[in-house]
Amino acid sequence: MGLTGSASPARASSVFAAGGLGEPSLEENARLRALGGAGAAEHGPSGFSMVNPASIAEARYLSVEATMLSTRRSISTDGFGSESANESSFPSVRLVVRLPGGTVLGGSYLAGTDGQFQVDRAETTGAASFLRIEGTGGINFARVTLARRVTGAIRAGVDFDVVSGSYREEWRRDFSGPTLAQARDTLEADWDRLGRWRLGLQYARERFALGAAYETARRLPLTYRQRTTGSEVKTTGRTLEIPDGYAAGFSVSLGGRGRVVGQYRRQNWNDESLKSDLVDFRALERYSIGFERSATAVGGRLDKLPLRLGATFLKWPDLLPRAGAADVSAGVAPVDEWAVSIGSGLLTPDGGGSFDFSLEGGRRGNQDELGARETFFRLGLSLRISDETWK
């Protein structure tokens, strides 16, 4: 399938989700999304990040946090004009509990990739027909975290991820002739639910903090099932490798109420991660930077609210067929993405609960190379509730 070179735009999720792993998800809450996703050095009683397990080491309460993301996309294509789509998702949910002895336990669900798409195209080979391809699924993680403060300045944490999820494509062909019945094919890809480790460290002083995390690789046995009317074909013996990777970041106080944060994140996808004629791979890289002005108890209304600004540049791991090509043999093109963000939020009086929001806008894809370009706007909402009696 040649994406937008031979089909109308995908709907719901990203147009570039067709054929590859799907849209990479930024699993952070709205507070960190507004800072460009730079969370490796986040610390404190409520400064939690998904990228670094050490960030929850100073949690004081039992707390639950969930994030909702609402996205509007505008897609421009060669030959099929433009269209818009809307979607909502929940990129992460987290529970954090401080245990006796100073250890903090966390449990979370994270969306790794979003493989949802829909492609429509007219078929003229053989009997004239209309083809609709609908894809669902993605890579998700169920995570358990342990963290604690080792010394006054050092925090350490460990995650254990169980890699879950699957991919499913349904091909439905409607023929123009009244005597021909609808044809329906289904392709499913599933893998064994196996785990991997993630390790995190932080070094924090009064004016600055450094953080880093490393995640191990995991090879997952794949099972493909192709179903048509009256038959099913099962294929095994192939694998999907979730790669190793790392993240490193900083937080520096500017004095007064301001601070600057930054982060670099890398996941080492390559051409051995998954063998396919429809996609090749490179390393995923995300560059993030942000500025936060903290709230104050005095002053005007705006002074009592935090202000967060951020920017991020993302290199998708998927290398997709060039516009008009049926597979990667004719050459591939990368998907690069940039976004800017702004946000704010409210804290409960005890500091344990919060409501945060972020607004993001950006663009991905090169229309000359891929036949499509996508502009997106996101609204992120995060709610954290806590029990301050849990000590």
Number of C-alpha atoms within 13 angstroms, CB side, residue 376? 28
Q: Place 198 in a pLDDT band, splitting at 50, 70 and 90.
A: very high
The pLDDT of residue 13? 66
Q: Mean per-residue pLDDT for 248-260?
A: 93
- Tens digits of residue pLDDT in 97-134: 999 889 999 999 999 998 887 777 776 666 677 778 88
Domain count, the chain: 1
Residues 6+ apart with CB under 8 A from 276: 328
The pLDDT of residue 177? 67
Instruction: Name the DSSP letter for residue 9.
Output: P
CA nearest to 42, candidates 205, 198, 245, 250: 250
Q: And the tokens for 14?
A: 């990203």
pLDDT of 2 strictly over 60: no
199-203, 211-215, 331-335: which range is least confident on average? 331-335
Q: Place 159 in a pLDDT band, splitting at 50, 70 and 90.
A: very high
The pLDDT of residue 6? 41
Q: And the tokens for 176?
A: 């123009």
Q: What percent of the chain has pLDDT over 90?
A: 56
The pLDDT of residue 244? 97
Here the CATH number for the domain that contains residue 304 is: 2.40.160.60
Give the residue, 180 or 212, on which the prediction is more confident: 212
pLDDT of 9 strictly over 60: no
The pLDDT of residue 229? 77
Domain coverage including residue 116 = 3-387
CA–CA separation, 18 and 278 (whole Å): 9
pLDDT of 224 strictly over 50: yes
CA–CA separation, 354 and 305 (whole Å): 12
Q: Mean per-residue pLDDT for 51-71?
A: 93
Give the residue, 12 or 370, on which the prediction is more confident: 370
The pLDDT of residue 349? 74
Mean model confidence pLDDT for the chain = 88
Beta bridge partners of 198: 159, 215
The pLDDT of residue 337? 96
CA nearest to 344, candidates 283, 303, 284, 299: 303
The pLDDT of residue 324? 80
Q: Mean per-residue pLDDT for 48-68?
A: 93
Query: Which residue is it, tokens 């639950």?
Result: 64
Q: Place 4 in a pLDDT band, splitting at 50, 70 and 90.
A: very low
Q: Place 378 in a pLDDT band, splitting at 50, 70 and 90.
A: very high
The DSSP-derived string for 102-125 is S-EEEEEEEE-EE--EEEEEEE-S
Give the residue, 390 or 120, on which the prediction is more confident: 120
Q: The whole model's pTM is what?
A: 0.90
Q: And the tokens for 368?
A: 């000359």
The pLDDT of residue 313? 98
Q: What percent of the chain has pLDDT over 70?
A: 91
pLDDT of 72 strictly over 80: yes
- Tens digits of residue pLDDT in 283-322: 999 999 999 999 887 777 777 899 999 999 999 999 998 8
Give the residue, 351 or 270, on which the prediction is more confident: 270
